[in-house]
Structure 1
Amino acid sequence: MTRWHRFRSDVVAYVVINGAFIVGIWALTGSGYFWPGWILAAWGMGLVLAGWDVFFRRDVTDEDIQRELRKIR
């Protein structure tokens, strides 16, 4: 499974679990203090980091290693 597919499935799980279950439980139990916000924020930070990994990080190549070694010498 590629990083993109894994990220996409993580986003779907985030929306389904948080949107349907966590916020749904909060709404059904009286809608007082919005405690699901803590779960949404924590899990959301994980998704942001996973998105960074998918869209912005690039793998280190042999050429990158050789270039850094030439700088040291």
Structure 2
Amino acid sequence: MTDSTNTDARDLAIHSLRRKRAFQAQVVSYAVINVVLWGLWLFTKGDGNQGFWPAWVTVGWGIGLAFSAWHAYGEKPITEDDIQREMQRTQADGR
């Protein structure tokens, strides 16, 4: 492996680790804030006219969290093989 390849691999690894740690921080925030919101709702529901509002926050934020999970753990970096395949495909298509 050349120094350039080593540096590229290291940069990709660091980037991946940062995404994963950012996602983990989002999960902690999601859990803590949702526990507080649900506790607030349970404590203040009183006459029952307030509705089931914490569910909107939990579901809405959960959808965003799912996209963040995909970005952190499911999405793969673009490799040199991917670039070469795409170049061959676009050249074959005449684009």
From 39, 43, 63, the equivalent of 2:61 is 43
Root mean square deviation of aligned Cα: 1.5
Structure 2: distance between partners of 1:41 and 1:66: 40
Match of 1:71 in 2: 89
Structure 1: distance between partners of 2:32 and 2:84: 45
Match of 2:31 in 1: 15
Aligned length: 72
Q: Where do residues 23-38 of structure 1 align in structure 2 (5 Å cutoff)?
A: 23-30=38-45, 32=48, 33-38=51-56
Q: Which has the larger radius of gyration?
A: 2
TM-score normalised by the chain length of structure 1: 0.86
Structure 2: distance between partners of 1:71 and 1:3: 30
List runs of 5+ in structure 2 lacking aligned partners. Answer: 1-16
Percent identical: 38
Structure 1 position 39, deviation (Å): 0.4
One-letter code aligned to 2:21: H
List runs of 5+ in structure 1 lacking aligned partners. Answer: none
Please identify runs of 4+ aligned residues in structure 1 that moved more than 3 A.
none
TM-score normalised by the chain length of structure 2: 0.68
Match of 1:52 in 2: 70
